[in-house]
Amino acid sequence: MSIDNILYSINYGAPFLGGIMLIIGSIFKYKGKEVYSMFSYLIADICWVIIAYFSQNTFGAISIIIGVLFSLGVFYKMKVGIFVTDLRKDKNA
């Protein structure tokens, strides 16, 4: 198998794998498993970077990488306890 065939396979499979990982991440998010959903979304983001790279969209790849770095920063702050969120409007309920 030549390197061109390998690169073509990666480019062809990235949208499929990225979509599947988004579905799996949303299922984990629905079940309350935030860490698993974050890693699933991270794999999907890597797939989108591959797609942007192969389509020669440098700005798109850089934008996705910056978004991933910010999301990892928020995840770290949530894990440490600096950034705590609550979805309920009424704190006394």
List of residues 6+ apart from 82 with CB closer than 8 A? none
Identify the domain containing residue 11 by its residue range. 3-80
Q: What angle do CA 83, 64, 86 make, to 5 degrees?
A: 20
What is the rounded distance in angstroms from the CA atom of residue 78 to the CA atom of residue 93? 23
Domain count, the chain: 1
Domain membership of residue 91 (yes or no) is no
Which pLDDT belongs to residue 27?
94
Q: Is residue 25 part of a domain?
A: yes
Is 64 within a domain? yes
Nearest to 45 by CA among 24, 27, 26, 19: 19
Residue at 29 is within a domain? yes
Q: Is the pTM of this model over 0.85?
A: no
Model confidence over 26-51: pLDDT tens digits?
999 899 887 888 889 888 988 888 88
Task: Note whether residue 73 is domain-resident.
Answer: yes
pLDDT over 80 (residue 25): yes
**Displacement of CA 42 from its chain's centroid (Å):** 3
In a domain, 68, yes or no: yes
| 87 found inside a domain | no
- 76 inside domain: yes
pLDDT at 88: 58
